[in-house]
Structure 1
Amino acid sequence: MLQEPGGPLLVEGPVEVVLEDGRTARSDRPVVALCTCRRSRLFPWCDTSHRGRKKPPVARQQSPDARDTRESRDAQDAQDAQDPQ
């Protein structure tokens, strides 16, 4: 057995696991990764859900104050265009 830090427990197969509800899960693979984080959709087998997911880049949003300032300037520019000095 080998435990990866923050990851699954690697066990030489074949493996038979008795789950909490009494069901049995079996694998004939030479090495099996058992989930230790309980996030796997294939529990008790690891599906790498423990790995961090990279989020797609998010467009930067302006703060409400920045929008108010821009809108104020746009409004002032429009008023200046209508009222020549």
Structure 2
Amino acid sequence: MSGAQESSPPDVVLCPGGPMLLRGDHLVQDEEGNEHPTTRPVSAVCRCGGSKIKPWCDGTHKLLRKRSRD
């Protein structure tokens, strides 16, 4: 064995100006305390607060960024 470790992608990735990506099984708790299990290989959790499908990201952060530049 060469000593090199096989690296796997991290479970949690914070996208600059965007969502939090979760890989694998996680349990997400929304503002009301409801629990939402992740059901996809990668799930995007809203961090901007503007999503219409919270706790999941719907891409609203892109519109918010665009408005702030105008």
TM-score interval, smaller chain? 0.5 to 0.7
TM-score (norm 1): 0.55
Structure 2, unpaired ranges of 5+ = 1-11
Percent identity for Structure 1 against Structure 2: 41
Matched with 1:13 is 24
Q: Is the 8 A contact 1:15 1:32 kept in 2?
A: no
RMSD: 1.8
Q: Is the 8 A contact 1:17 1:26 kept in 2?
A: yes
2:54 counterpart of 1:37: no
**1:24 Cα offset (Å):** 1.2
Change (3 A) 1:18 1:52: closer
In the TM superposition, structure 1's runs of 4+ consecutive aligned residues that sit over 3 Å from their partners are none
Aligned partners of 1:52, 1:19: CA distance in 2, in Å? 22
Matches within 5 A, 1:21-32: 21-32=32-43
Aligned partners of 1:7, 1:18: CA distance in 2, in Å? 18
**1:42 Cα offset (Å):** 0.6
Q: Is the 8 A contact 2:30 2:54 kept in 1?
A: no
**1:23 Cα offset (Å):** 1.1
Matched letter for residue 26 of structure 1: P
TM-score (norm 2): 0.66
**1:17 Cα offset (Å):** 1.0
